[in-house]
Structure formats: structure tokens, C-alpha cells
């Protein structure tokens, strides 16, 4: 059984579980939106994406953002997923990240699209 993300209690008063797909999607989300230093016992965990969204926009920054996100996913989830594609865009005050991956469990390719508001 996988624990659901975000942590919650189900209708029976037990820790809510998650399917394999939901669990891996939650892992991807945690890696991408956790800032290094945010977790006490894993100070290097995360991607640092929030710091980059405040940099000047441009092709080089978009490339750097994609490389940063792919690297973080490969570092922290290499045993769970094979990352096939990462795309990130900042439009106005919204960060859109699209990740295509294949779970190591042998399931078919999945795509997750995550959107966060960022303050400029």
C-alpha cells in the first residue's frame, strides 16, 4: 500500500492510500515543488524551481529550467520512473510543468501536467 499525497485520513479514520499511478504522480510533484533545505532529514531534496521563476525569461532560462527539473527527477526518482520528457513554461504568473515518464513497474508511459501560481 502506498500512502496518499498530500497526507490525509480516509472515511474510516485510517491513513488514506493511493494507487500506483497516484503515488508516482505525488512523488513527481513533491520533487518538483520542494525547495532544497525544506526537508529536515533530506536537505538536498527538491528541485529549486521556485528560485528560477524569478529570473529573466528567455530561451536560455527555459532550457536551464528543463535541465534542472529533469536532473532533480532523475536524482530522486530514478528507481521509480524513467523520465522521457520535461517541459516548463512561465506564463504571466503561472508555472506549467509537463513531465512524461514511464514507471519502472512496467506500466505504459504517463504524462503529468502540474500548474502552480507564482508571485512575480
Higher pLDDT, 117 or 59: 117
36, with CB counted inside 10 A (0-12, 13-18, 19+), is middle
pTM: 0.78
Please write the tens of the pLDDT for every residue from 2-19: 777 777 788 888 888 778
- What CATH code is carried by the domain that includes residue 37? 3.10.450.40
Report the alpha-carbon distance of residue 67 to residue 46 in Å, rounded: 14
Looking at the structure of the chain, the number of domains it has is 1
Using CA of residue 98, residue 102, residue 104, residue 106, what is the dihedral sign?
positive
Instruction: Name the DSSP class of 30.
Output: H
Q: At what angle do helices 20-33 and 59-77 cross, to 10 degrees?
A: 130
Answer whether residue 31 shows pLDDT above 80. yes
Domain with 32, as residue range(s), is 2-117
Please write the tens of the pLDDT for every residue from 85-108: 999 887 777 788 899 999 887 778
Amino acid at each position: 500500500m502506498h500512502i496518499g499525497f498530500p497526507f490525509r485520513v480516509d472515511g474510516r479514520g485510517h491513513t488514506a492510500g493511493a494507487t500506483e499511478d497516484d503515488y508516482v504522480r505525488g512523488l513527481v510533484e513533491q520533487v518538483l515543488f520542494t525547495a532544497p533545505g525544506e526537508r529536515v532529514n533530506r536537505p538536498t531534496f527538491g528541485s529549486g524551481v521556485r528560485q528560477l521563476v524569478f529570473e529573466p525569461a528567455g530561451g536560455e532560462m527555459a532550457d536551464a529550467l528543463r535541465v534542472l527539473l529533469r536532473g532533480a527527477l532523475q536524482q530522486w526518482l530514478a528507481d521509480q520512473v524513467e523520465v522521457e520528457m520535461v517541459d516548463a513554461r512561465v506564463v504571466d504568473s503561472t508555472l506549467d510543468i509537463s513531465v512524461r515518464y514511464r514507471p519502472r513497474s512496467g506500466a505504459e508511459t504517463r504524462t503529468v501536467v502540474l500548474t502552480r501560481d507564482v508571485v512575480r
